[in-house]
Structure 1
Amino acid sequence: MSNYNPDTYIQSFSVLGEHLRNPDEELKHLIQTEKNVNAWFTPESIESAINAIAENLNSYDLTKWLQQYSVNANIEPKNIGLILAGNIPLVGFHDILSVLLSGNKALIKASSQDSRLIKYLLNKLVSIDNTFADRFTFVEKLQNFDAVIATGSDNTSRYFEYYFGKVPHIIRKNRNSISVLTGEETTTQLHELGHDIFDYFGLGCRNVSKLLVPHGYDFTPFFEAIEPYNDIANHNKYHNNYDYNKSIYLVNRDKHLDNGFLLLKEDERLASPLAVLFYEYYDDIISAERKINSQADKIQCVVSTGPLQVNSQVVSFGQSQQPGLADYADGVDTMKFLAGL
C-alpha cells in the first residue's frame, strides 16, 4: 500500500521552499563552489535557479497546481525513469517534483553537469520528511521502469525513442525561445529582456535566442538598455564564445552588430550560437505570428508585451526564466501524464 499523502507532501515541499529562501551553510558553500566543477554554474546563476524554485514551493501554489489533477493516493507507485538535462542549475527539479507529488517513485539519471545541487535538495527533503527516502533513487543506468521522462538534444532523442519507445514516455528535444519587438517598448522592458537573453549565459531553452523586429527597427535603444549586462563579458567561457563567433563573422565578412559582449546577426534560424542573438524582420504582427506558429515545435516560449495568436506560451519581458508550476517544458503536461499512468 502506498504511504503517499498529498497534503503532507505539499507541506514538506513548502518547508523545503522556506529552507531555500533561507539557505544553510552547506547550501551557501555549494552555491559558492559549484563553479569549480562547472564553470557555467556561477553563484549568481545558482541563486537565480534556487530563487525561481523557491518561489513555487509554497502550500498555496502547490495545492492549487495539484488540485487540477486526479491523483490517486492509494495506488501502488510506479517507477518513473528520469533522464535530466544539465544545461542550467537544477533544470531537472520540476520533473522530480512532479513524480513525487504524483505519488510515484523517481529513478534519477542526473547529468554529470548538475548532480550535486539536485542531490543536496533531495537529501534536505528527506531530512524534512523521511518518507521520501524510498521515493527516489539515483542511478547510472535506468532499469525496471514503468515510464520515462527524458530530456536531451535532437540527436539523443532518437536514441531515447529507440530505448524507451515501448513504455509510456515524454521525450524532449532542443528548443529555444523568441522575442517579438514592436519598437514601442520602454527602456525598462528592453532592460528586462536582457534577463531573458543573458540569464544562465543563454544556455537554457527558455532563453531568448532570436528577435522578431519590424522593418526599419532601430537597435540603438535595445543596445543602450542592455548595457548594464556588460559584466557577462568577464566570464571566461562566455567571452571565448563571443570572440570565436566574432572572428568567424569578420573572416566571412558577415554583416552583424556588436556592442562588445553580444553579437546581433540577421538570420532565419531560431537557435543562435552562444553570445549571438539572431534577428529577423517581419511585415506585420500577423506575419510574425505565422512565423512563430510554423516553428511551434521548436519554440519553448515567446517574450512580448502584446497578446499574440500563437501556439506557444507568451510571457512578459524578464519572465522567461521564471516559469510557474504549470509552465511545462515543450508544452507537455507532465503531471497529467503521470496521473494517467
Structure 2
Amino acid sequence: MIKTFDELGHFLRKFKKFYAYNKYIPQRFKKFFSDFQKIIQKITIVNSWFRKKDLLTTIDQWGKILKEEKLESWIKRYSLNKKKKSKKVLVIMPGNIPIVGFHDFLCVLLSGHNIIIKLSEEDNLLLPFLCKIITHQKPMLKHKIRFTNNIFHEKFDYVIASGNNNTARYFEYYFRKHPLLLRKRKTSIAVLQGNEKEKELIDLNKDILTYSGRGCRNVGKIFLPYNYDLHLILEKSFVSEYVTKNYKYIDNYKYCLSIYTMNKISIQKNHFLIFKEENNYYSPISVVYYEFYDNLNQLREIILKNDQYIQCIVSKNFLKKEVDFGKTQYPKLEDYADGIDTIQFLN
C-alpha cells in the first residue's frame, strides 16, 4: 500500500511542476491530469476560501511527503498486527483547509483498517478524486474506502472527529460509546526576537495568511520584544496579497476594521491585514494579535502553560519543539494534530 501512496505523491509532484513550470506530464498520469485540472478549477468556483495558490500549496505539501522512503521510515516505528481484524473507522473531516483530513485517511489505511469518510460540504471534491487515483493503482482499496452523507445510518468501531469547541461537546456525547479521537480548536503562534532576516519575515506572512488564516497551523498571535516595529512585518505581507481576491476574507477584514475604528481601538494595518494588541490567543480572520514581552525565559514559561491552545510555535532557537518560519503548512508525517498519535490510537 505504501507504493500506492508513493505513486500518488509522484502524481502530485508532477502536477505541481506542470503548474509552476509548464512541465511535461508522464503518459501514465494523463488519464487523470485533465480531470484534476477541472477539479481544481471547480473547487475555486464553489468555495471562494480555497484559492488556486492554496490548493497548489496542499498539493506541494503532500507531494513532498508521499514518498516511499518517508512513509516506510514513519510507519516502521509501529508494531502493526497484520493478522488483527480490520476495524471500521468513521472519520469526520473538517473543511477549513483543503484535504485537512488526509493524514487521518492515510493513518487508517496504513494501519490496515477500513475507513468511512464524512466530508465537509466545504471540501468534498479533492479527496474523492485522489481516491480515484489510488484505487486505480490498487483496486482492492475500493473495498476499504467508503464515503457517507449520513453518519447516523453507519456502523463503525472507532471515530476520529475534528471541530470547534461547540461541535466537540456534541461529538463527545454522541460517540460516548465508541473509542473517540477528538480534536478541538487550536491556533499557532510566533515568537520574534528582533533579529529576524527579511526572508523569515516574508515566510512569517505565509504562516499567517496561507489558506486565508483558517487553519490551526496558521499563526494568529505573535509575541514581540518591546518597541518592535510592526511595519517590518506588514510591509512583507505582499507575498500573501492574493487573499484580497477572496471576497469572504475581505468581508471579514472590513468588518473587523469597522468594529475597531468605531470603538477607537488602536491597531496597525495595511489594506488586508490587521494587527491588534491582545492577550487572547484566538484571533478572527484577517486579524493577528500581538503581545510584547521583556523576558524570554518568562515568556517560555507562559507559552508552555498555555500549550493546550497551541498547535505550532514559529521561532528560532527559542524552544525545542519549534517550527521554522514558513513551514507551518508543511508538517511531517509524525507531526500529529493536537499531539495525539493517530496510529497508536487506532492500534
What range is the shorter-chain TM-score in? over 0.9
Name 2:125's counterpart in structure 1: 116
How many angstroms apart in 2 are the aligned matches of 1:257 and 1:103?
Answer: 51
User: After alignment, is 197-206 or 233-242 more displaced?
Assistant: 233-242
Name 1:49's counterpart in structure 2: 58
Residue of 261, 268, 288 corresponding to 1:250: 261
| 1:329 paired to 2:337 | yes
Look up the equivalent residue of 2:67 and give its one-letter code.
N
| 1:177 paired to 2:188 | yes
- SS in structure 2 at match of 1:257: strand
Using the TM superposition, give the Cα deviation of residue 14 of structure 1 relative to its aligned residue in structure 2, in angstroms.
0.4
How many angstroms apart in 1 are the aligned matches of 2:68 and 2:37?
Answer: 25
How many angstroms apart in 2 are the aligned matches of 1:221 and 1:297?
Answer: 30
* 1:264-286, Cα deviation, whole Å (9 max, x unpaired): 00001111111110001112111
Look up the equivalent residue of 1:300 and give its one-letter code.
Q
Counterpart mapping for 1:153-168 below 5 A:
153-168=164-179
Aligned length: 328
8 Å contact 1:34–1:41 — kept in the other structure? yes
| 1:140 paired to 2:132 | no
How many angstroms apart in 2 are the aligned matches of 1:290 and 1:124?
Answer: 47
Using the TM superposition, give the Cα deviation of residue 85 of structure 1 relative to its aligned residue in structure 2, in angstroms.
0.5
Name 1:78's counterpart in structure 2: 87
How many angstroms apart in 1 are the aligned matches of 2:4 and 2:219?
Answer: 34
8 Å contact 2:51–2:246 — kept in the other structure? no
Name 1:189's counterpart in structure 2: 200
Name 2:228's counterpart in structure 1: 217
Name 2:306's counterpart in structure 1: 295
8 Å contact 1:41–1:89 — kept in the other structure? yes
Look up the equivalent residue of 1:186 and give its one-letter code.
K
Name 1:12's counterpart in structure 2: 4
How many angstroms apart in 2 are the aligned matches of 1:76 and 1:114?
Answer: 31
- SS in structure 2 at match of 1:314: coil
Look up the equivalent residue of 1:14 and give its one-letter code.
D
8 Å contact 2:95–2:121 — kept in the other structure? yes
Using the TM superposition, give the Cα deviation of residue 303 of structure 1 relative to its aligned residue in structure 2, in angstroms.
0.5
Name 2:14's counterpart in structure 1: 22
- SS in structure 2 at match of 1:22: helix
8 Å contact 2:168–2:182 — kept in the other structure? yes
How many angstroms apart in 1 are the aligned matches of 2:206 and 2:239?
Answer: 11
How many angstroms apart in 1 are the aligned matches of 2:239 and 2:103?
Answer: 31
How many angstroms apart in 1 are the aligned matches of 2:250 and 2:144?
Answer: 42
- Structure 2 gap segments, 5+ residues each: 16-32
Name 1:64's counterpart in structure 2: 73
* 1:288-340, Cα deviation, whole Å (9 max, x unpaired): 2122122211111100111316xxx41000000001111100010111111x2
Look up the equivalent residue of 1:196 and give its one-letter code.
D
How many angstroms apart in 1 are the aligned matches of 2:224 and 2:196?
Answer: 11
Name 1:281's counterpart in structure 2: 292
Computed over aligned residues only, the root mean square deviation of the Cα atoms, in angstroms, reads 1.2
Look up the equivalent residue of 1:54 and give its one-letter code.
G
| 1:104 paired to 2:113 | yes
How many angstroms apart in 2 are the aligned matches of 1:91 and 1:308?
Answer: 26
Name 1:34's counterpart in structure 2: 43
Instruction: Tell me the TM-score normalized by structure 1.
Output: 0.94
Name 1:91's counterpart in structure 2: 100
User: After alignment, is 138-147 or 48-57 more displaced?
Assistant: 138-147
Residue of 226, 235, 240 corresponding to 2:251: 240
Name 2:272's counterpart in structure 1: 261
Using the TM superposition, give the Cα deviation of residue 260 of structure 1 relative to its aligned residue in structure 2, in angstroms.
1.7
How many angstroms apart in 2 are the aligned matches of 1:264 and 1:205?
Answer: 18
Using the TM superposition, give the Cα deviation of residue 58 of structure 1 relative to its aligned residue in structure 2, in angstroms.
0.7
| 1:201 paired to 2:212 | yes
8 Å contact 1:183–1:218 — kept in the other structure? no
8 Å contact 2:189–2:220 — kept in the other structure? yes
How many angstroms apart in 1 are the aligned matches of 2:170 and 2:207?
Answer: 31
| Identical-pair percentage | 39
* 1:172-231, Cα deviation, whole Å (9 max, x unpaired): 111100000011101111011111001001011100000011112122322222234334
Look up the equivalent residue of 2:345 and give its one-letter code.
F
- Structure 1 gap segments, 5+ residues each: 1-8
Using the TM superposition, give the Cα deviation of residue 139 of structure 1 relative to its aligned residue in structure 2, in angstroms.
1.1
How many angstroms apart in 2 are the aligned matches of 1:225 and 1:107?
Answer: 43
| 1:308 paired to 2:319 | yes
Name 2:26's counterpart in structure 1: none
